[in-house]
Structures are given as C-alpha cells and as structure tokens.
Chain A
Amino acid sequence: MTDDTASLDVQLIVFEDVHLEVVRYADGWDSGTYQEKAGVVQLSPLDLKKLDIKNGSHVTLTTHGGNIVVKAKSEKRCAEGVAWLPASLYSNYLAVYDPSVSKTVMPKVTKASISPTQEDVTPIPQIIPGVDDA
C-alpha cells in the first residue's frame, strides 16, 4: 500500500472534532463528506518537509492495527513527531487493544508511521468488513 519513498515515526493523537460530528449527523457515516473530513491527518509543517510532501498530499498511516490512506494537512500547532487524527471510523480502525501491553481499550495516543503515497483515500466501506457486500 505504500510507495516506500520516505517514512516518519510519529505519536498519533486522536482528538474530538465537532465539525466531523456535525457531518456525521448531517450526511451520515457512509457519506463522501464524512470520509473527506475524517480522512485527514494533521502534521507539523516541518514533518511535511521531512516527508517531502505538500499540504493535501496523500499518506499511508500505519499502526499495529492496520493501515489506511488519508490526506496530510499542515498544522502549525502540531509539534514535530506528533500527528493529530480526528476520532472517527478511521481512528478506530487503526486503534489497537492488547491487554498484555495495556488495559486501555481505546488509547488516545498510538505509535504510527507515515509515508507518502499516490493511492486514493481509503473508502469507509473498505475498513468495515461486510458493509460493502451486505
């Protein structure tokens, strides 16, 4: 899924975004607008530079839970080595629950790696097994 040109290890912080909740209620969790709003990871401008990508480029976000393709957005408030992802079906897809490591079921902070890609943003039905063939 990755182009393997460059890769960056980050702390992925999941945050609540009221605008995303509004879209979920207004258009539904399976809508294009929800996917567009949820599939955005915010990074420091310096980290965008390290990855040699522009604001709005697509990146593969990988954790022990899996990987997805999302858009990268430059955010000055992000520190270097930290990425922000809104709480959504995407963040839950990447979340990992391993009671031998931590009893926290839905950690707010996860280790992740980011690499540039030319692929499209992962469609929501692809991360919910059965929805596309239900």
Chain B
Amino acid sequence: MSSQKLVCTGCGCLCDDINAEVGAHGLTGIENACTKGVAYLSAAFNEDRRTASLIRGEKCLPTEAINEARSLLAKAERPLIFGLDCSTCEAQQQAINLARKRQATIDDASSSSYGSLIQSILSGGLPTCAFSEVKDNADLLVYWGSDAPNTHPRHLSKYTYYAYTDFDKAGWYPKVVLGCIDIRNSELCAMSNMAIKLRPGQDGDFMRAVLDDTHSVSEDANKFRERMKKSRFCVFFCGLGLVHSLGSDLSPLPQMMEALGQSTRIALMPMISEINLRGFTQKLYEDTGYVNQVSFAGGVLHSSDYSLHEQLRNNTADCVILIDSDPYRLLPHQLMRNLRNTRVIYLGPFKTPVASLADVVIATAIPGIEQGGSVLRMDGIEIDLLSVRETRYPTQQDVLAQLMDAA
C-alpha cells in the first residue's frame, strides 16, 4: 500500500490536496475529497466501472479497436470530433491536429453551455480573475444560476466563502458577503446573506432593471444595485441557470457589468463542471479564433451548423468520434436518435450509455490517475496532473496519434 498525493478530476474544482491510499486492489483510503470526489475516485479505481475495447459490442484488443476506428475514419467524408472536456491539453492539441488533417469538424460541450461566456472572456469582453485573487480580497461573491454545493461541493470551502482567513469582529463569519441569484430555493440560497429569487427566464430583465436606477420598480434590483455600489471587488460565479436563461443574447450581462464596474471591480467566472473544458476552448481559440463549432473543411469555418447538436439534427456527420464525452448526458435524447444514422467511435475509460451503442469503443487511461498531463482549471490556471498507478490502457493522446495516419 502506498500514499499518493493527487489532483481530484471529479469536477472543475480540480482540488490538488487529495491524499489517496492505493493498495494492490484499488483505493483503500482517501482524505480531503468531497462526497462527489470520493465517489468519482472510487469509480476510477474500480475495474467494474471501466469499459473494455469493443467492436460492435464484442470485446477485442485495443489495437484491433484502433485499426477498426482508423478504417471507419478513412471511409468518412464528413467526420466530427466531439468531447475532450475531460482530456488533457496534450490530447486536445492532438485532436485539433487530427481534425485539421482530416478536414473534420470539431466541437465540445461548451456549445450547449459556457462557450459564449468563455469566448467573451478570452477576447477581453468580460473581465475574469483567478481563485487566488478571490480569497480575502473580494468582498462580494455572487453565485448566479449556480448551486455550488451540488455542482462543485468544495468550491466554497476551498476557493471562496469558507476559505477566507479574515473574519468579522465576532470571529464567526468571513469578511465577505455571500449572494445567490436563482430561480430555486437552493441549498446555496438558504445559506446566503443576500438571496434573490427570480422567475424562470427573467435574468436578463433583472439585469436591465439593475441598470435602470431611475425607473426600476424591482425591490430586489434596487437592493442588488445598492449592494454592488458598496462593494470594492465583486465576483460573479455564473452557472448554467444564468447561461440558459440568457440564451443566445448575453448582452445584458456585459452591459450590467460595465455600468456597475464604474464604481467597483467586477470579475466573472463560469462554473465549469468538466475538468478541462476551459483548456479545450482556450486551445481551440488560440488556434482558430473560436472556442467551439469549427470546421476545417476548406480553411477555418465557424458556425452553429458545426455544433454536435446541429450536426445530429441535420444528419450531417457520417462518422462521430466521441472523446471521453457522452451526448446522452449532455443533449436532449431526441437528437440521440440520429446518432444511429452515423458511425460512432468512442474513446474513454468508463462504461457510459454511448459506449454501449458505439461501433467502436477504445478503452483509454484516466487522466490524473493513470496518465499525467496538464489541464486548465475553471479560472484559467494550469494544473499538472500526476500518474499514480500503472495501467494497461493507452492514453487518448496516443490513440489520436495513431488515428492520424488514417488515409
């Protein structure tokens, strides 16, 4: 048995203070991880949760699966590469290279989540900050459309509210105001100093009401505006609730941040769940100028037509390579019916709904446990993952390199 320090790859927090006791038959002890992290790491060390390499449901050697995938890819005229949000930056770069070489389309889960926000952050349209700037510096933390205790259980304790070392005179409460804006009475709302409940889809209207300080009839908007004016440094942690409420029109958000930013510093951080969605979007942005939905067929093209959901809806792609990502967990199932009309190659470590349906499954190593590499945390800071145990599985990067020579 050995004690290993590792980075938890259970969610976007990427907690780097995990101690794991690793025995001959798996994980025997774990310290510092949250309930979600313990469950994830236990699954990662449990062979029963792993998928085998498969060709049309039949077990095979990894080399046979790779050869079959290479053959399917060679025949494809409109291939699509999707996923990579739980892959290392090195695998992501390899996938972008493969997409470029094969003149393929490439996309990730940010198309249906934080893509627009991240594009604005990377292009300088929205200010952001690192976690190291938040603790003991920000005096107002607003979780908007996000219930962090359920999505990122250690977010508050490791990086924000409970991580503060500066307390009020009674020595009980951190010197920071915790705010929550949501459509549900979530667990986070119940513990917040300032909880504002909105009606579904009203986030944009609320932002406009905050800006309109002469005619606003919203008591909550007035309260929020006054609290913002008192703040020196406010951070918005934006969840999917906000993103989906604003839909394709994000404009009220930067307008509100710019107006309120006259009197206070405001930063925004998307509450990314995947361990390296930030890495993929940033890498693709640096390579093409876009964070997702890119086609390399005839240069660099960008359109929502190149998203997985539109490609499935229109039956465009004739071969889909899913890399450690399961559309059944990301998209409406109405779209999944069309996945039957295309060839599917799945690379990943775990049994998932799509792994049980794919034409080819290539079982791969788990980043952060069986392979090292780098990832970008939700605040854009690079984190190095370690390899803490030997594995018989190839890395995604190695498999993608072998697919490069598909004719």
Contact = CB atoms under 8 A, between A and B. Distances in A.
Interface of A: 11, 13, 15-19, 21-23, 25-26, 28-30, 65-66, 77, 84, 89, 92-93, 95-97, 99, 102-109, 127-131, 134
Contact of A97 (B241, B335, B337): B335
Nearest to A97: B332
Overall SS of chain B's interface? helix
6 nearest A-B pairs in the assembled complex, by CB-CB distance: A105-B112, A95-B332, A25-B39, A109-B200, A103-B248, A22-B39
Given A92-B329, A109-B244, A127-B333, 19 more contacts: A16-B147, A19-B35, A21-B39, A22-B39, A25-B36, A25-B42, A25-B49, A29-B352, A29-B353, A92-B328, A92-B330, A92-B332, A95-B334, A97-B334, A99-B313, A105-B331, A108-B200, A108-B240, A134-B57
Interface of B: 10, 35-36, 38-40, 42-43, 49, 57, 111-113, 145, 147, 149-151, 153, 183-186, 200-201, 240-241, 244-245, 247-248, 304, 307, 309-310, 313, 328-337, 340, 351-353, 356-357
Given A13-B183, A65-B334, A26 B39 contact: yes
A18 B353 contact: no
A18 B36 contact: yes
A88 to B, nearest CB: 9
B329 A89 contact: yes
Contact of B36 (A11, A21, A109): A21
In this complex, the member of A18, A29, A128 whose beta carbon has the largest number of chain B beta carbons within 10 angstroms is A18
B141 to A, nearest CB: 19
B332 A106 contact: yes
Contact of B333 (A16, A19, A28, A65): A65
B304 to A, nearest CB: 8
Given A17-B150, A104-B244, A134-B356, A28 B49 contact: yes
Contacts of A95: 331-334
In this complex, the member of A19, A89, A93, A130 whose beta carbon has the largest number of chain B beta carbons within 10 angstroms is A130
A95 B183 CA distance: 18
A37 to B, nearest CB: 13
Contacts of A93: 332-333
A77 B201 CA distance: 19
Contacts of A28: 49, 351
B244 A108 contact: yes
